[in-house]
Amino acid sequence: MIRLSPACVLIVALAACRGERADAAAAPREVFTPLDAHVAWGRTLTLEENDDVVNVLVRATPDPRGGFLVADEQENQVRRYDANGRLLFTFGRRGQGPREFVSLNRAFRLASGDLLAVDAASHAAVFDSAGAELERTFRVSVGQLKMAYLLNDSLLLLGAQIQDPRQGDPDAHLHLWDLRANRLAGSFFTVRPTTDAHRFAANTAGLMGAARRGDTVAAVFALSDTIRLFDFAGRPLGTIPLRAQGLRRFDPAMRMPRMDLVSVREWIGSFSLISDLWWLRDGSFLVQYQDREGPEPKWRLVHLARDGRRLFESKDTPLLVAVDPATDTLWFVRPGSPTPNVWASARLRG
């Protein structure tokens, strides 16, 4: 057994003190690095607009036939753009009728060529490949949607909370909707709130993100710093820590806000909200999160290795709207663009 003399202990202690002082004196390590250091910018793409088409709050999905399907939650309109931003067609508008939406979330191309448009107010509609004919409309009984993601031609992944406990677990946040059988096929990703504040945050700001790779689904929840993995039946496959250092983590022990809009917005702005997730071809993840200033999100982007190790993290990034799964091309709203219809492509630097 090694014995340390009192002098030796003192030396070790002083050395430790010096080390702490040196650390304290050093400049704090910068958590964020500029996005430009990590991506190479490519071409600009301007989505065509006209008097009937204005891009406001858009969610874009790469169209397997080329270009993009853009769903605009504010305008309740689906737009198909070609790869150069030319507007090919639109369908949908605000309303409660058969070709109308009240809170359009996202649009997808099915293998048949048909187009699936998902409304956050729990209904979906299938249109023909040109968006001209409405083929069917169906309700998805899972409550207000936070996220929709097409896993394959028969399974639609929905981020939502079931309101009626008789219909399913109200704390399950992901649901598999069987498009062929037109029924709920499973619910998972449970988040059990531990405090009133936790439940309130989960209900009001419970954003979800999902991505797939092979037969695995990766999913994130706004308030949780973990990427959860599932199979297509919703069975858990594992977790990956989301080691974003700039993330202002939600503390379930925090006090509830006063119940007025200003106080609630200030409260929600006091922690980060994980918002979206992409799974790249090399197995790494891009996670987009936001810090809100009132109604306005300030975007942050973190690139994580497959094991959750942080590769880079940038703040005040332009909104990442889409990633082409075939090429890993990233599509951002072009930095500095005041409108969301001007995009810029980018590739991660090796």
Partner 1 sequence: MGIGTPARLSAALLLALAGCRPDARPLARGSALALRGAAADGGALVWVVPASEFRVCAPVASTLRTMQHPAAAALPLVVAYVGPHPEWMAAYLRTQRLRATLVPLTEREYAGRFGAAAVHAVYRVRGGRVETALQPGDTEWETRLRALAARGAAGTAAETPPRAPIHL
Binding site for partner 1 (CB under 8 A): 51-52, 54, 56-57, 74-75, 94, 103, 170, 193, 195-196, 199-200, 203-204, 259-262, 264-265, 293-296, 338-340
User: 4-34 burial, b for 16+ CB within 10 Å, e for fewer?
Assistant: eeeeeeeeeeeeeeeeeeeeeeeeeeeebee
C-alpha to C-alpha distance for 159 and 172, rounded to whole angstroms? 9
Q: Which is nearer to partner 1, 319 or 344 (CB)?
A: 319
Nearest distance from residue 144's CB to partner 1, in Å?
Answer: 11
C-alpha to C-alpha distance for 163 and 142, rounded to whole angstroms? 7
Nearest distance from residue 10's CB to partner 1, in Å?
Answer: 52
Nearest distance from residue 263's CB to partner 1, in Å?
Answer: 9
Three-state SS letters, the chain: CCCCCHHHHHHHHHHHHHHHHHHHHCCCCCCCCCHHHCEEEEEEEECCCECCECCCCEEEEECCCCCEEEEECCCCEEEEECCCCCEEEEECEECCCCCEECCEEEEEECCCCCEEEEECCCEEEEECCCCCCEEEEEECCCCCCCEEEECCCCEEEEECCCCCCCCCCCCEEEEEEECCCCEEEEEEEECCCCCHHHHHHHHHHCCEEEEEECCEEEEEECCCCEEEEEECCCCEEEEEECCCCCCCCCCCCCCCCCCCHHHHHHHHCCCCEEEEEEECCCCCEEEEEEEEECCEEEEEEEEECCCCCEEEEEECCCCEEEECCCCCCEEEECCCCCCCCEEEEEEECC
Nearest distance from residue 51's CB to partner 1, in Å?
Answer: 4
Nearest distance from residue 16's CB to partner 1, in Å?
Answer: 44
Nearest distance from residue 338's CB to partner 1, in Å?
Answer: 6
Nearest distance from residue 292's CB to partner 1, in Å?
Answer: 10
Q: Tell me if 59 sits within 8 A of 105, measured CB to CB.
A: yes
Q: Which is nearer to partner 1, 36 or 196 (CB)?
A: 196
Nearest distance from residue 74's CB to partner 1, in Å?
Answer: 6
Q: Which is nearer to partner 1, 30 or 296 (CB)?
A: 296
Nearest distance from residue 334's CB to partner 1, in Å?
Answer: 15
